[in-house]
């Protein structure tokens, strides 16, 4: 193997990390054929270390994606969007050439952070990728937390943020008002107006590392603070966590499988491919109550 590659444990899985250690390409296995026990351990170790991992040139059927997901965890909840028929745990992220509506997943967020137990991980498999645009940006909450000064860290520890789906999925939310989406069926519901409290600083259950746990798309306030007090602090943290120094730009190709850790990572789906079809299939893995 070339420079920058390493074999993990007893598996043939190799890992090529990004320079900052946030994000890594993995290879050396055929995902369609299933992972060995050693392979699973290697992938999980790389995932814990790098938070975003991807495999290139991995064609997967629906059943193979489901089987791979279950080797790595348990299916998570998928609210507010219709799954593939016959595959209740696969969400097809599709945008047709004629659509001009906003990109699904656009704007910084952590998947479904408004749930009491948000998903630990998201798996996204590329089927049809346009010739231009469509990159996904990832932001590293662990390094963002570590870059804050001690005084700021002391202020944040112990604070809890309110998370809600009301902005995109409530009866008065964005998706309730948009027209012209044909690639996906997205639901609005009064349930989206509820809110749940999570710590602003989360301890990762596997690594023990602390990270910011905020979601610009879903974090709507801070427990015990008035809106005019909490909003400036949240805006500061949103801007801090998404600074260029903490962000990885991920470029897709057909048959790429990417997995990211919602417990310490934000992501943002970009556009720039109007006039082209884009299709990816997604599963999530159940997580823990944030602490």
57 is catalytic: no
Contact (CB, 8 A) for 282 and 91: yes
CA 232 vs CA 41, 91, 199, 226: distances in Å = 42, 35, 17, 11
282 is catalytic: yes
Sole residue written with tokens 């409530």: 170
17's tokens: 């990390």
- Considering the candidates 111, 250, 261, 281, report the single residue annotated as catalytic: 111
Question: DSSP assignment, residue 256?
Answer: -
Task: Quote the strand ranges of 97-178, DSSP E.
Answer: 121-128, 136-140, 160-163
Residues 80 and 11: their CA atoms lie apart, in Å, by: 38
Q: Where are the domains of the chain?
A: 80-251+260-285
CA 215 vs CA 3, 44, 61, 118, 201: distances in Å = 36, 24, 31, 12, 12
Q: How long is the chain?
A: 291
Collapsed DSSP state (helix, strand, coil) of residue 27: strand
Beta pairing, strands 91-95 & 278-285:
antiparallel
26's tokens: 């993995």
- pLDDT of 8 reads 53
Collapsed DSSP state (helix, strand, coil) of residue 105: coil
What pTM value is reported for the model?
A: 0.96
- Considering the candidates 267, 268, 278, 281, report the single residue annotated as catalytic: 267
Fold of 80-251+260-285: Double-stranded beta-helix (3.60.130)
- Considering the candidates 94, 95, 281, 282, report the single residue annotated as catalytic: 282
- Considering the candidates 50, 109, 163, 268, report the single residue annotated as catalytic: 109
111 is catalytic: yes
Q: Which residues on adjacent β-strands are paired with residue 160?
A: 199
Nearest to 157 by CA among 140, 145, 142: 145
Residues 22 and 117: their CA atoms lie apart, in Å, by: 24
pLDDT in tens, the chain (291 residues): 333 566 555 679 999 999 999 999 999 999 999 999 999 999 999 999 999 999 999 999 999 999 999 999 999 999 999 999 999 999 999 999 999 999 999 999 999 999 999 999 999 999 999 999 999 999 999 999 999 999 999 999 999 999 999 999 999 999 999 999 999 999 999 999 999 999 999 999 999 999 999 999 999 999 999 999 999 999 999 999 999 999 999 999 999 999 999 999 999 999 999 999 999 999 999 999 999
What are the residues whose beta carbons fall under 8 Å from the beta carbon of 255, sequence distance 6 or more? Answer: 56, 57, 58, 59, 60, 125, 126, 127
- pLDDT of 3 reads 39
């Amino acid at each position: 193997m070339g420079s920058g590659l390493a074999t993990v444990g007893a598996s043939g899985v190799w890992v090529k990390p990004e320079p900052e250690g946030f994000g890594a390409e993995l290879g050396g296995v055929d995902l369609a054929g299933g992972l060995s026990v050693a392979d699973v351990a290697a992938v999980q170790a790389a995932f814990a270390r790098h938070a975003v991992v991807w495999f290139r040139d991995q064609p997967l059927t629906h059943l193979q994606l489901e089987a791979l997901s279950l080797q790595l965890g348990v299916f998570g909840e998928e609210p507010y969007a219709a799954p593939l028929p016959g595959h209740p745990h696969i969400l097809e992220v599709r945008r047709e050439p004629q659509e001009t509506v906003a990109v699904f997943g656009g704007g910084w967020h952590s998947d479904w952070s408004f749930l009491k137990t948000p998903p630990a991980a998201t798996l996204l498999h590329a089927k049809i990728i346009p010739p231009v645009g469509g990159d996904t940006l990832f932001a590293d909450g662990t390094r963002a937390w570590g870059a804050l000064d001690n005084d700021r860290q002391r202020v944040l520890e112990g604070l809890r943020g309110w998370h809600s789906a009301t902005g995109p999925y409530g009866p008065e939310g964005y998706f309730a008002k948009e027209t012209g989406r044909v690639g996906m069926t997205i639901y609005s519901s009064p349930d989206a107006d509820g809110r749940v409290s999570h710590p602003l600083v989360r301890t990762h259950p596997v690594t023990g590392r602390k990270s910011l746990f905020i979601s610009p798309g879903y974090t709507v306030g801070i427990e015990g603070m008035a809106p005019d007090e909490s909003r400036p602090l949240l805006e500061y943290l949103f801007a801090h966590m998404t600074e260029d120094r903490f962000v990885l730009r991920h470029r897709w190709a057909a048959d790429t499988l990417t997995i990211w850790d919602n417990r310490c990572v934000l992501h943002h789906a970009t556009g720039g491919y109007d006039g082209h079809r884009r299709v990816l299939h997604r599963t999530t893995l159940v997580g823990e109550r944030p602490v």
